[in-house]
Amino acid sequence: MRTVSVLVILILVLIPGLWAGRLFNTPGRPSGPFLLGPCTDNITLKGKDHLEFRWKPMRPGFIYYTEFRLYRGYDTRDQNLIFKKRTAWNDTSFSVSKENFKSQETYTWVIEEVFLGGRKGDRSFCSFTVSSSGKAR
């Protein structure tokens, strides 16, 4: 009987803690997602109607939603914000219309994951330049 009581207590205490991801978390914010692209110097939009942004979540089972932001230049302050979108927990890519981009300008995109408990992860960001030529890296 005592073994059953201890087992029930362990289940009631450990399972919710594991689900929330708090018992075995390192202190601080969780790592941000791994950005797959675009993350190069020159991006061409010739023949395209949109630009696709792709990333890989670090802890996919615990994400509540992902916040995507696109900024003009390298500065990620609100005054340079072009586009902001809250995506679903299972999204790993997002497309933006080419009308949001100008040739020879630099842009920075940011992904921030929000987890089930409301905790935010580190931001991941990458910059790229839109090229006017058909040659892109």
The domain segmentation of the chain, as residue ranges, is 29-131
Check residue 31 and give its pLDDT: 86
E strands, the chain, where? 34-37, 42-44, 50-56, 63-72, 81-88, 93-97, 106-115, 124-131
Cβ contact 124:55 at 8 Å: yes
Contacts of residue 99, Cβ cutoff 8 Å, sequence gap at least 6:
none
Per-residue pLDDT 10s for the chain (137 aa) are 666 565 566 565 555 555 555 544 556 678 889 999 898 878 888 889 999 999 999 877 888 999 999 999 999 999 999 999 999 989 999 999 999 999 999 999 999 999 988 889 999 999 999 986 544 44
CA max distance for the chain: 76
What is the distance between the alpha carbons of residues 34 and 6, in angstroms, rounded to a whole number? 41
Domain covering 29-131: architecture: Sandwich (2.60)
